[in-house]
Every structure is written in C-alpha cells, then in structure tokens.
Amino acid sequence: MERPEFDIVIGKDGQVTVEVKGVKGPRCLHYADLIREIVGHEEQRKLTVEYYAQESKVRIDARAQQRRDD
C-alpha cells in the first residue's frame, strides 16, 4: 500500500506550496484536493512525473507442471 508524503512550504507572503509524493497516477489529485480544502484556495496546479507514471499492479499466475522423463 502506498503512503503519500506531503512537502508543504509556507512562504513569508502566506503562499502555500504543496507537493504530493509517493502516489502514482490520478489518485494523487485526491490528496491534492484534500489539501486545497484545508488551505481554501488554489492558484495553480502542476502535475509531476509521478502523476503520469503507471500504477504498479502486478498479477502473476503460475502453474507448476510435473515433467515426465520416459
């Protein structure tokens, strides 16, 4: 399970910059929206490389077969 991390910087002028890390794909927008609700206003949104990365879901189906040596 992924664990999001937030880099939050509050400037002297009160401007808040937040970067969501550790979440790939569009799910990071969910966390960004939560922060926006707390802060109250969003001036701009920049999507990072992690946003465009594929979520890693791996499924492996394996079946063992017994080999016969005749």
User: pLDDT tens for residues 36-69?
Assistant: 898 887 888 888 888 887 766 655 666 666 667 6
> How far is C-alpha 12 from the geometric centre of its chain's CA atoms?
28
Nearest to 1 by CA among 27, 37, 19: 27
Which helix (H) or strand (E) element contains residue 49?
helix 49-52
| Residue 58: predicted pLDDT | 56
Report the predicted TM-score, pTM, of the whole model to 2 decimal places: 0.61
